[in-house]
Chain A
C-alpha cells in the first residue's frame, strides 16, 4: 500500500506524539533516577550529570539483590511449571481421544471464570496449612496450572499433521516419547510465547506475594518497591526511581525481545 507524502507526515506526527505521551512516565522516572534531591525540587527534566549514586543507595537501603534473585527464581519456577503442566494437558486434549474429554475441557474453561481474588482467602489458609508461608513453593505452585496456557498450546498442537502421529506409532514410538521428542521440539515458538507470558506475569505479581511473604528471605521485587516507597516517600525520590528502573528492566527487555511473538501468541490463544 503506497501512501501520499502529506498523509505519511500526518501519521508520523501522530505516532511521535503518542509515543512521547505513552513513554513519558518511564522516561521521566529514568531521568529522576539520576537526579539529586535538589534537582528534583527544582523540577528539572534532564539531570545535570549522569551518576549512579541513587542506584548504589537503593541497593544499600533494601536487600534489593536478594529480592531480584527471589523474583528470578519464582518467575522461572512458574514459567517452567506452567510449560510442563500445560503442555502435558494440551497433549492429552489433542492426541488422545478419550471418553469424557468434553467434560474435562469444560472444567478447564470454567476455571477461567473464577477470578483469582475470589479464592485468595482459602488459598491463603491452604498455604498456611501446608507450611508454605515464606517459601518458593508457596509463591509458585498455585500458578502452575493455567487454562489459558493449555488452550494456547492446544491451538498449536492441533496444527501438527496427524500423519506425524501415525508415523510415530508405526515406528514404535511410545506416547511419551512422541510427546517429548516430536511434539515439544516442533512447538518451540508457542512454548517460548507461553514461557515469556508466564515469566512476565509472575515477575509483576503483587497481591499474592504480599499475602504469603513476611520476611526478606523470599520477598519479591514488587513488594520491595512498596517498602521503598513507604520508607523514602518524603525525601529521596531519586532513590525510589532508581529502584523502579532496576525492577522494570528485566521485563522490558523481555518484552522488547518477544513483542512480535507475544502478540501473535496472545491473539491466537485469546480468539480461537
Chain B
C-alpha cells in the first residue's frame, strides 16, 4: 500500500486534474441526464421489453411470447384499421395544414399598417389547448344546432352527421386538427420568411420581377429549410394526435378515428393489455424514427440552405 501511494499519486493526481472539466460539466448536466434516463431512455427500453411479453394487470412481464404480440397486431383487423386511419389522417392534415399556414404567413409578411394585429390573430390557435378547441369544434359539428349543419340547411343541402358518420368522422377530426395547428406552423413559417435577406428582393425589384416570380424564385427556395422543418413537425404531431379523438369521437364510429396513440391508450389503460399496447408503441416509435431520419438525410441534400 505504501508502494502504491508512492508510485501513483502524481499520475493519479494528473488524471484527476485533467478530468476536472469533465467532472464539472457532468455536475451541470446531471439533472438532465438523470431525468432523461428515468423518463425517456429507461421507459423506451422497457416498452420494447414489454412488447415481447404478456403482462399482468400491474404491467409486470408475465410470459415471454417473442414476436407474438406483433404477429397478433398485424393480423388484427382493429390495428390494421388504426394504421389506415392514421395514414389517412396524416394525408388529410399535413399538406393542407402546411399550405394554409404558408398562405397566411405570406400575406402576413407584407409591410402594411396593422399587420401586427393579423399576425396575432393567425398565431392565436397556438394558445388554445387541444381540449378547449375540441370542445368548441364538438359544438360546431353538432348535428342539429352546430354551425356547419345550419349553413348547409341555409343552402338547402341535407345535413351531415359529421362525427357520427364513419365516412365523415375522420374528415371532421382532420378539419379541427388543421385549425388547431395553424397557429404554430404560421409562427414558424413567418419567422422563416423574416429571416430571408431583404437585399434579395430589392435586387429582384430592380430587375423588374413581379410578385409571383419573386415568390417562386426567391421566397420558396429560401424558405425551404423552414418548410421542410414544419412538414416534419406536422407529420410527427399527426402521429401523436390524441386529445381531439378522445373528446370528439372516442375513436368511433366503428373505429374510423381510432388513431394510433388513441389505440395504444385504449389497449393499455382500458383493456390492460400492456404487452400488445407496448408493441403498438414500438411501432409508433419506428414510424417517427423513420420520419426523423428522412428529415436528416433528405434535409441535407434536397433543401436549399443559405
Give the interface of A toward B (CB within 8 A): 1, 3, 8, 11-12, 14-15, 18-19, 22-23, 25-26, 28-29, 32, 40-41, 43, 84-86, 88-89, 91-92, 96-101, 104, 107-108, 111-126, 141-142, 144-145, 150, 175, 200, 203-204, 206-207, 210-211, 222-223, 225-226, 228-229, 233, 237, 240-241, 243-244, 247-248, 251-252, 254-256, 259, 262-264, 266-267, 270-271
Indicate if the CB atoms of A252 and B127 lie closer than 8 Å.
yes
Residues of A contacting B236 in the complex (Cβ-Cβ under 8 angstroms): 115
Question: Is the pair B35, A85 in contact by a Cβ cutoff of 8 Å?
Answer: yes
Residue of B nearest to A41 (CB): B145
Could you tell me if B129 and A229 are in contact, using CB atoms closer than 8 angstroms?
no
Answer yes or no: B266 CB below 8 A from chain A CBs: no
Instruction: Let me know if B213 is at the binding interface, CB within 8 A.
Output: no
A240 to B225: give the CA distance in the assembly, Å.
41
A112 to B225, CA, bound (A): 18
Contact B121 A247 (CB under 8 A): no
Closest to B193 in A: A267
B residues 156-215 in Cβ contact with A at 8 Å: 179, 182-183, 187-188, 190-192, 195, 201, 205
How far in angstroms is the closest Cβ of chain A from B14? 14
A85–B31 Cα distance when bound, in Å, is 6
Residues of A within 8 A of B31 (CB): 84-85, 88-89, 144-145
The reply to whether A26 and B124 form a contact with Cβ atoms under 8 Å apart is yes
A3 to B211, CA, bound (A): 11
In the complex, chain B residues whose CB is within 8 Å of the CB of A223: 131
B47 contacts the other chain (CB 8 A): yes
- Could you say which residues of chain A place their CB within 8 Å of the CB of B133? 25
A247-B129 in contact (CB<8A)? yes
Q: Residue B108 at the A interface, CB < 8 A? A: yes
Cβ of B243 and Cβ of A126 under 8 Å apart?
Answer: no
Query: Once bound together, how far apart are the Cα atoms of A101 and B129, in whole Å?
Result: 37
Complex CA–CA separation, A97 to B120 (angstroms): 41
Q: Are B128's CB and A248's CB within 8 A?
A: yes
List 5 tightest A-B contacts by C-beta distance, closest first. A267-B191, A255-B127, A122-B43, A204-B129, A145-B35
14 A-B residue pairs with CB within 8 Å: A15-B108, A15-B118, A19-B117, A22-B122, A85-B32, A88-B28, A119-B43, A120-B43, A122-B59, A142-B35, A225-B132, A247-B132, A267-B192, A267-B226
Q: How far is the CA of A225 from the CA of B39 in the complex (A)?
A: 27
- B111→A1 contact, CB < 8 A: yes
Asked if B43 contacts A126 (CB within 8 A), the reply is yes
Contact A92 B28 (CB under 8 A): yes
Q: A89-B32, A96-B24 are in contact. Are A114 and B40 (CB under 8 A)?
A: yes
Residues 5-26 of chain B, each 1 if its beta carbon lies under 8 Å from chain A, else 0: 0000000000000010110111
